[in-house]
């Protein structure tokens, strides 16, 4: 049977960041084509001799200036044949987390601009990228119950309340803080330091840091957090 196929393969990167009690996603403004001047996820077409993970890392770096160390494959989007008005495109989406404080945005190639957008105030994006972000956010929320989250999102040292706030921001719900603290500390991937955090007129609290070795172990092995809500 003669194969008749004209499908283009692309990758998209959903890069989440966290700052000032808000969850952000990294977007670029399209420079060319039918979606010119619209905001979109960084991404592009896969080269013939390129691995998918290398393609998405390259596209994110070229279009935003951000170098992402770890990305996880999310989903393949292609059932909607007309998702790209130009031609048939199947996109393999990857998502990851970074700390925006440590990132300098330098858009090049196909991007006019690159900015962080709050998940709570997303614009109408090009293609089906709003849907892709929704799927990625659902996956991120699900991961909170079986993998530790925060290593790439928080500062190297932080008050425990920052980790609580991170989880509540991602989940968009208040959590049972006493139960959360007891559970998190039982896994051993947080270490209490001798440094204190002074905020307002309240009592100074100890700062914590991640035990990177233990964190990576639990990231692979998984945890059973079973977050309880307030």
Cα distance between residue 188 and residue 127, in whole Å? 43
- Residue 4: Cβ within 10 Å count: 5
Band the pLDDT of 59: cuts 50, 70, 90.
very high
Cα distance between residue 141 and residue 127, in whole Å? 24
Q: Domains of the chain by range and CATH?
A: 8-143 (3.90.79.10), 158-221 (1.10.10.10)
Query: Residue ranges of the alpha helices (H) in the chain?
Result: 52-64, 129-143, 160-171, 177-187, 212-221
Band the pLDDT of 70: cuts 50, 70, 90.
confident
Whether 5 has a pLDDT exceeding 90, the answer reads: no
């Amino acid at each position: 049977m003669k194969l008749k196929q004209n499908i283009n393969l692309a990758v998209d990167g959903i890069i989440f960041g966290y700052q000032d009690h808000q969850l952000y996603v990294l977007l670029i403004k399209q420079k060319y084509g039918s979606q010119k001047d619209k905001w979109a996820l960084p991404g592009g077409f896969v080269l013939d001799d390129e691995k998918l993970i290398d393609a998405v890392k390259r596209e994110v770096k070229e279009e935003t200036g951000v170098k992402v160390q770890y990305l996880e494959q999310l989903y393949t989007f292609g059932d909607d044949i007309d998702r790209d008005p130009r031609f048939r495109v199947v996109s393999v989406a990857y998502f990851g987390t970074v700390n925006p404080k440590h990132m300098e945005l330098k858009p090049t190639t196909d991007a006019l601009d690159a900015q962080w957008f709050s998940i709570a105030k997303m614009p109408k994006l090009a293609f089906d990228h709003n849907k892709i972000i929704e799927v990625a956010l659902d996956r991120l929320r699900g991961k909170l119950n079986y993998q530790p989250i925060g290593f790439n999102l928080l500062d190297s040292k932080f008050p425990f309340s920052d980790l609580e706030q991170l989880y509540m921001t991602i989940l968009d719900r208040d959590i049972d803080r006493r139960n959360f603290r007891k559970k998190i500390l039982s896994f051993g991937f947080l270490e209490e330091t001798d440094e204190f955090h002074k905020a307002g007129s309240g009592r100074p609290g100890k700062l914590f840091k991640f035990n990177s070795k233990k964190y990576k172990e639990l990231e692979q092995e998984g945890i059973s957090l079973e977050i309880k809500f307030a």
